[in-house]
Amino acid sequence: MDENDLVRRIRAKARRRGSRDLVMGIGDDCAIFHPPGASEDWLLTTDLVIEDVHFRRDWHPAAGVGYRVLARGLSDIAAMGGAPRYCLLSLALAPWTDARWVNNFFRGFLDLARRHQTVLAGGDLARAAKLTCDIVLCGSAPRGRALRRDGARPGDHIYVSGVLGGSSLGLRTRRGKAWKVHLRPEPRLALGRHLAKTLKATAAMDLSDGLSLDLRRLCLASGVAASLDREPPVFPGATIADALDGGEDYELLFTLPPLAKPPASFQGVSLTRIGVIRKGKPGAVELLGRPLQPRGWDHFRGM
């Protein structure tokens, strides 16, 4: 079983007559809800952050944990080309957490929330053996304009923002600039909106689990295959494996129509063409003519 299989099974069971207002259910970075009569769609996403799975208390400072919890959710809103509005945070504190840790956690969390005009609107508190957070983000996008994973078509060009592998390198070395980008990834919100509004991206998602796995997911959603004709740009000092398979870079992966002419960078973040979407077995990805195995992060692999 892997995460894709599990999501497929849950989605099959959850599919009922459903609500006509739910434009996109399970299977993208966010669900898309269209409130009847509104000029905007709502974007909804939730993410878990668990001690010893997503962070270690002896490695990660509390402010960094708080920042990253919110950054994960914001990045999913960015992936849809949306603007964040509100968030809900449920937090189960572990026996080791003290008032200072909690204060620092919220300092990191709320600094980022303010920077992106995201209001903490509620949540829940509990205790657990390991510190556990669940973040729910609500954002908005102009009606029918949210970016999705399922719009890539053969002939579209594949791009990534920024450089990849820094977070993975940072987690390994825990120093320097790589550790900083691991602790403080920048959700690409302005870029996401630019992709939706100006560059007319056909598909997009955020790179949370590694390019090799996330590109496969985008291709599966779109029913297409992909050929990468160059390696992705690699964070200085990181390996190509960090860039392909290391997760948590929170850069955007997107596709543009063949004739699109994107700038080389947007607000100081590089936009690099790495390949092309093609017809073929859905989800099949090649790098320089060889199959690229999806080795990115999967909680359920081998279960």
By CB under 5 A, name the binding residues for Mg ion. 29, 76, 206, 208
Question: Contact, 186 vs 238, CB < 8 A?
Answer: no
Nearer to Mg ion, 41 or 76 (CB): 76
- Beta-bridge partners for 41: 141
Tokens encoding 79 = 């992936």
Q: How far is the CB of 205 from Mg ion (least distance, A)?
A: 6
Contact yes or no for 207/251 (Cβ under 8 A): yes
Nearest to 38 by CA among 141, 147, 189: 141
Question: Closer CB to Mg ion, residue 62 or residue 192?
Answer: 192
CB of residue 29 vs Mg ion: minimum separation in angstroms? 4
φ, ψ (nearest 5 deg) of residue 84: -70, 145
Q: Which residues pair with 135 in a beta bridge?
A: 47, 89
Residue whose beta carbon is closest to Mg ion: 29
Q: Which residue's structure tokens are 């939706």? A: 196
Sign of CA dihedral 74, 77, 83, 89: negative
In the bound state with Mg ion, the residue whose beta carbon lies nearer, of 29 and 242, is 29
In terms of CB distance, is 182 or 188 closer to Mg ion? 188
Question: How many residues would you count in the chain?
Answer: 303
Which of 62, 221 has the CB closer to Mg ion?
A: 221
- Residue 78 or 234: the one with the smaller Cβ distance to Mg ion is 78
Closest CA to 21 of 5, 38, 9: 38
Tell me how crowded residue 191 is: count the other CB atoms within 10 A of its CB. Answer: 24
CB of 31 to Mg ion, least distance (A): 12
Least CB distance from residue 81 to Mg ion, whole Å?
A: 13
Output the smallest distance, CB 206 to Mg ion, in A.
4
CB of 194 to Mg ion, least distance (A): 18
